[in-house]
Structure 1
Amino acid sequence: MIDIGAFLKDRLKKPLPGDVAHQQMMAQPIGERFNMKYDKPPKKGAVMIALYPDEGKIYFPLMQRPPYQGVHGGQVSLPGGKKEDADSNLIETAIRETYEEIGVTIADNEVIGTLSDLNVTASNFIVRPVISILKSKPEFIRDPREVEHIFKAEVEHLIHPETLQVTELTVAERVRLKAPFFDIEEKVVWGATAMILSEFVEILKEHYT
């Protein structure tokens, strides 16, 4: 844990893979393309990759959202959400949302850096991924209104080639997509979360390979 922590803390200060990595996991429309236009500028938000040790391996929590009418209903995501006026910055947003959604308290000094911002056109958000390192496995307490299930992803599992797969999905009842995804705990992790994790994976490969 010390090795990867030191590596990430140093690596996140250097130029990041950014959009090149994001594009690798971007879902593509099948057939008719569609354009999303918004009258307002994107809202700001943040998510948390909270690394923790457990039985000699390193994990971070993912969560499945309950089904609802919004564009991300039922999807797998990292804990996170919209920046509130009371948040002094996006790191504070990620810390607050992580506590509210999965009950994990993260101290300021456990945050080691951030990944590249991601423009999530489906929901008109710009999301900043924050990375933290916890000393031990946390106790998870889910908010039942926002979280249906919490599960863990193993860091080294992410870089295995068989973890990356492709499927076809239908969203908004009519839009067909060819979607790259990470197969994590038999969950289809696609969309914005997969794009964020794609950049994380490119950085992890530098450490593990």
Structure 2
Amino acid sequence: MKKDDLKELAINLPKKPGVLGRDRFFNSAVLIPLIKIKGEYYILFQKRAAHIRQGGDICFPGGKFEEGVDKNFKQTALRETKEELGIGKKDIKIIGQLDTYVAPIGAVIESFVAVVKKRALKTMNIDKNEVEKTILIPLSFFKETKAEEYTLSHEIQPYRYNEEGEKEVLFPVEELGLPDTYKKPWGNKRHKIWVYKYEGEVIWGITSVIINDLLSKY
């Protein structure tokens, strides 16, 4: 490396580091809607329609960042909230953003905290193709309730068997001359899962991770 190459490298280094390899992940954004009712703040959740991916899960309004449609992740969160719940920008005041979350499932989530006007509850227009219903839960419930804790594990699979029982090699360990340890599943990385139960509904996964991060801020 020559001196000029080093200078060019220094110039091209990011001024504000982001997420390495972000374009390989599912990039998304969610809105955390806080609504003040009779002096107490509630979180507005939605339950995903049963027939869609991850149907029946409790989550925040949000979705995939659309290249060419969204200028930034904040716009993604606002657009998805409008599409799913019919709540427009005029009733939403974003007060800040949580840290970027890179989930084990290969998704990057940007979470925006917002105060939503109470009147939006009356003017909501839920997209029934995506949302079964909305749920209001007092913020104090999460502050005062200890979540149940479990663990899940993720294994890296260098091969798999198809429906006919034939072995499909996904990563050619032998051809690449890699150590034998990679010829069988490896990793088995465990991560913690938090579960909240509220009036018959179960809140877990990415949603509970975001909730816990929100609770740590006050």
Normalised by the length of structure 2, the TM-score is: 0.64
* 2:211 is aligned with 1:197: yes
Out of 114, 125, 130, the residue aligned to residue 132 of structure 1 is 114
Within a 5 Å distance, the mapping from 1:149-164 to structure 2 comes to: 149-162=133-146, 164=147
Task: Work out the CA distance in 2 between the residues paired with 1:201 and 1:186.
Answer: 22
Task: Work out the CA distance in 2 between the residues paired with 1:109 and 1:153.
Answer: 18
Counterpart amino acid of 1:144? K
Out of 63, 67, 72, the residue aligned to residue 89 of structure 1 is 72
Match in the other structure for 1:142: 126
Structure 1 stretch 186-195 or stretch 106-115: which is displaced more? 106-115
Q: Structure 1: any 5+ residue segments left out of the alignment?
A: 1-39, 170-176, 205-209
Question: CA RMSD for the aligned pairs?
Answer: 2.6
Question: CA contact under 8 A between 1:52 and 1:137: conserved in structure 2?
Answer: no
Normalised by the length of structure 1, the TM-score is: 0.66
SS of structure 2 residue aligned to 1:194: helix
Within a 5 Å distance, the mapping from 1:13-162 to structure 2 comes to: 41-68=24-51, 70=53, 72-84=54-66, 85-107=68-90, 110-122=93-105, 124-139=106-121, 140-162=124-146
Give how far 1:154 is off: 1.0
Q: Structure 1 residues 187, 167: closer, same or farther in 2, change over 3 A? A: farther
Counterpart amino acid of 2:216? E
Ranked by relative contact order (alpha carbons within 8 Å, sequence separation 6 or more), the top structure is: 1
Counterpart amino acid of 1:95? L
Task: Work out the CA distance in 2 between the residues paired with 1:44 and 1:168.
Answer: 24
Q: Structure 1 residues 69, 61: closer, same or farther in 2, change over 3 A? A: closer
Structure 1 stretch 49-58 or stretch 128-137: which is displaced more? 128-137
Question: CA contact under 8 A between 1:49 and 1:78: conserved in structure 2?
Answer: yes
The number of residues matched between the two structures is: 156
SS of structure 2 residue aligned to 1:50: strand
Higher CA-based Rg? 2
Task: Work out the CA distance in 1 between the residues paired with 2:201 and 2:71.
Answer: 34
SS of structure 2 residue aligned to 1:91: helix
